[in-house]
Chain A
């Protein structure tokens, strides 16, 4: 589904090279996890895939179902089925959460040539999905992410994901700032979305999220490359021994 080949990326601002040849393939229906120390390029990878400004791709490609992502606008990537759950969801004062969500859903439908959802249909679907994530009506009325707790913000990201029904979901440190209960809620939300036609790329520092969202494949990233790939046991190894041994192995 997602195929990244030899991806090289530097910062536009100061030419600092962040990704130095990332190769990664995520098959449909699978959950891949990327772990790695701070500064290894994990978040950059998620931003570059979703089309954030400020990065320059100097080499390589990233395709979703065979279509080159890197040449598309961010909204085109979204309409093509890519979704990024932000590490730090952005606040938009004055814009109701419900309005935001409906605008997003209908923008994607429009881009794909589908009919927009009526207000009534939309409400029905949103209520159902919000309930599963314990998001109440009051939270849907509040401005997007403004004054939300860490847990509320992350649950809201998962709600957006559930409503937009993307093919390829990238979760950027969705576990950061969550207590155990909130993490469980978020993980349940993600697990409910697992399906044959959908793949996940879960970026995390810690094994604990992977206790709840069981990965099929685990990659270790360091210094802008994937240095090791294995099964779920790789995450446990990191949890127990840290990254030092793995890094030494490669060098």
Chain B
């Protein structure tokens, strides 16, 4: 370990009392906390080999897939849950969970969206997710061009449907649920699945290998620019159910795709587990943008309920001059444990990580990235904005490593923390390892609090306190918001405001 530092900053007194109260008021204002009443088919509670077999069978998987799952399960049983993160939560009883839940109406495997249960479609409509193949008008100034976004909608353990499949197929792009991909494109899946995040990677990733039920698969052929944005929306509806989705994106030489992931869940008093794996393979000259707006139910102000989010995301820039850009807006979850990473293997490959993590009330976030420089002349950039309010603890944890062969490589890291109130915490834990003499690593970090003078200035101009806080916080996050695709930047901006305002009931 090269360098390890840690600092905990306590906010001084004098923060406007009302600011704190405003922020407290936002608890219980989670917008997507309603539930869809629908008949659900569960696998029996608990986890054993039979459950793994059942999930595989439900998905109609070939033998190799089942064997892979079983190997992962055997390994997982010998592993221990990591406890190094700055997260405090009671022990998770892995036998007290459902590992598979599926709306009964999906039994018949609808062939198209027209055949899908209207209740399910209504759920996505209520969430504002377009499942009709409609043009999406971006609500952004200066952009009057209608844009298309293809959506894969995952409800509990299964994919409900994917839009614009035909149009994408014409371009040679494959966008479907991973369960479908395992059946229809087994060679592609077998070639790449587990090649970025191996079965043995970590406790939660290994668990995912054993029990993942669905997720999305994207394949962009050589030289193809994906004709539209792709997105997956994950919705946990069933109670006591873990969601374990798996996403695999393969960008062949010279291709490009922009992908967005959104997540919501109903309000529940109990904690729910979410352990996803995302793998991205990027070949020569290809580029992938992966944006996440994570808005899982964060629990109430006392920390009751909420999603435990343990996610492994990694991109492998295998090809020369390949490029990946992770952008994440993390506003939900009771616990966030997530480090979208870049393996910069190809020469001159580039990795970027832009993050906004908001933790309020009793939320805890331990999130950051890993930039592993393996190839020559590789570049990476990290911009992390952490916002803590209430009693929340927000940790940035990042690793930058320059391997001996990663000559002339560069990293720039900027970590800014913003504190609202005097009971929250911000922590920055950068790990830096440099094993050659020609690479350069820069790390800048700041911690500030929402300033009473700024709020007073805004209010003296007529904004109420909520508007003022939202304006200041959005200003703080601007660099990251700008990295999002335009449509989602607007969504994220209002989400940032909602998370801190409590203006939506």
**What residues of chain A have their CB less than 8 Å away from a CB belonging to chain B?**
50-53, 73-75, 77-79, 83-84, 86, 89-95, 99-100, 103-105, 107-108, 111, 119, 143, 160, 164
Contacts and interface: CB of A to CB of B under 8 A. Distances in A.
B476 A103 contact: no
Given A75-B459, A78-B462, A90-B453, 14 more contacts: A51-B460, A73-B464, A75-B463, A78-B459, A83-B460, A92-B475, A93-B475, A95-B475, A104-B458, A104-B462, A107-B461, A107-B464, A108-B462, A111-B462
A143 B458 CA distance: 14
Given A51-B460, A94-B479, A95-B472, A107 B452 contact: no
Interface in B452-504: 452-454, 456-465, 467, 471-472, 474-479
A95 B472 CA distance: 7
29 contacts: A51-B456, A51-B459, A52-B456, A52-B460, A73-B465, A74-B459, A75-B463, A75-B465, A78-B459, A78-B460, A78-B461, A84-B460, A86-B457, A90-B451, A90-B456, A90-B457, A92-B458, A92-B471, A92-B475, A94-B477, A94-B478, A94-B479, A95-B472, A103-B467, A104-B461, A104-B462, A105-B462, A160-B461, A164-B461
B221 to A, nearest CB: 39
B16 interface: yes
A35 to B, nearest CB: 23
A104 B462 CA distance: 6
B476 to A, nearest CB: 6
Contacts of A91: 454
Interface of B: 16, 141, 451-454, 456-465, 467, 471-472, 474-479
Nearest to A79: B462
Nearest to A163: B461
B452 A53 contact: yes
B462 A107 contact: yes
Contacts of A90: 451, 453-454, 456-457
A107 B457 contact: no
Contact of A73 (B141, B451, B459): B459
B492 to A, nearest CB: 14
Contact of A53 (B456, B462, B474, B479): B456
A95 B463 contact: no
Nearest to A143: B475
A140 B463 CA distance: 19
Nearest to B456: A52
Contacts of B463: 75, 103-104, 107
Contacts of B465: 73, 75
A53 B451 CA distance: 12
A75 B464 contact: yes
Given A75-B459, A100-B471, A92 B478 contact: no
Nearest to B448: A93
- Residue among A51, A53, A74, A107 with max Cβ neighbours from chain B (10 Å): A74
A100 B460 CA distance: 12
B462 A119 contact: no
A78 B463 CA distance: 9
A49 B224 CA distance: 63
Contacts of B467: 103, 107
Nearest to B461: A104
Nearest to A111: B462
A74 B476 contact: no
Contacts of A94: 474-479
B474 A74 contact: no
A208 to B, nearest CB: 26
Contacts of B451: 90
**5 cross-chain pairs, A with B, having the tightest CB-CB distances, nearest first:** A94-B475, A95-B475, A94-B478, A108-B462, A104-B461
A93 B460 contact: no
Given A94-B477, A94-B478, A164-B462, A103 B457 contact: no
A86 B454 CA distance: 12
- Residue among B16, B457, B467, B471 with max Cβ neighbours from chain A (10 Å): B457
Given A73-B464, A92-B457, A119-B141, A53 B16 contact: yes
A119 B474 CA distance: 20
- Residue among B454, B463, B464 with max Cβ neighbours from chain A (10 Å): B463
B22 to A, nearest CB: 12
A89 B461 CA distance: 12
- Residue among B16, B458, B464, B476 with max Cβ neighbours from chain A (10 Å): B458
Contacts of A93: 475-476
Contacts of B458: 92, 100, 104
B460 A50 contact: yes
Contacts of B459: 51, 73-75, 78
Contacts of B478: 94-95
A92 B460 contact: no
Contacts of B457: 86, 89-90, 92
A95 B471 contact: yes
Contact of A95 (B456, B460, B474): B474
Contacts of B479: 94
Nearest to A47: B456
A103 B493 CA distance: 14
- Residue among B452, B458, B461 with max Cβ neighbours from chain A (10 Å): B461
Nearest to A100: B471
A119 B139 CA distance: 13
B471 A74 contact: no
